Amino acid sequence: MSHKQEYILEESWSHLINIADKLMKKALANALDSEGFNITPEQFNILVSLWAKDGQCQYELATCQGKDRASITRLIDSMEKENLLVRIPSENDRRIKLVYLTNKAKDLKPALTEVATKATTLATEGISQTELVSSKDVIKQIIQNLNKNE
């Protein structure tokens, strides 16, 4: 005789990951705001992607951020208005626009990285490095499993 396990929302992976994500974004937003930066966590993530590899197309940014094309376009539009990014047509395909950091965005890297590091340190207080690595590995595996089924 099989015994069905009750689904408890507060104990589900998706719920816990979602709550942690919201709280991390809120902590980062508060940290950025308290340091006087007019940058959202979503904008910060775009900057981090471009600091790692400048000149990405919008599709690449959307994919790595887990956003749809319309959302990433609005995000890039707002960042362009703030003089953080510029879009330049690709030399290989004029239909594709590549997104590049401005000097203003490049200059913000040290300060923004420090703010994000402080927010992350606060969030991971009392958690060992081994636990953090293991947790990341588990979440990466969940993402990989779910991406296989798309």
Residue 2 has pLDDT above 60, yes or no: no
Q: Domain count for the chain, please give it.
A: 1
143 within a domain of the structure (yes/no): no
Q: What is the pLDDT of residues 84-121, one digit of tens each?
A: 999 999 888 888 899 999 999 999 999 999 999 999 99
Query: Range of 56's domain?
Result: 14-115
96 within a domain of the structure (yes/no): yes
**pLDDT of amino acid 6:** 84
**pLDDT of amino acid 95:** 85
97 within a domain of the structure (yes/no): yes
Residue 145 has pLDDT above 60, yes or no: yes
51 within a domain of the structure (yes/no): yes
Q: What is the DSSP string of 46-89?
A: HHHHHHHSSSEEHHHHHHHHT--HHHHHHHHHHHHHTTSEEEEE
23 within a domain of the structure (yes/no): yes
pLDDT band at 150 (very low <50, low <70, confident <90, very high): low
83 within a domain of the structure (yes/no): yes
Q: What is the pLDDT of residues 118-135, one digit of tens each?
A: 999 999 999 999 999 999
Q: What is the pLDDT of residues 7-25, one digit of tens each?
A: 888 888 889 999 999 999 9
Q: What is the pLDDT of residues 41-72, one digit of tens each?
A: 999 999 999 999 999 999 999 988 889 989 99
CATH assignment of the domain containing 55: 1.10.10.10
134 within a domain of the structure (yes/no): no
Which contacts qualify for 111-120: CB closer than 8 Å, 24 or more apart?
111/35, 111/37, 112/32, 112/37, 112/39, 112/44, 112/47, 115/28, 115/31, 115/32, 115/35, 115/37, 116/28, 116/31, 116/44, 118/31, 119/24, 119/27, 119/28, 119/30, 119/31, 120/24
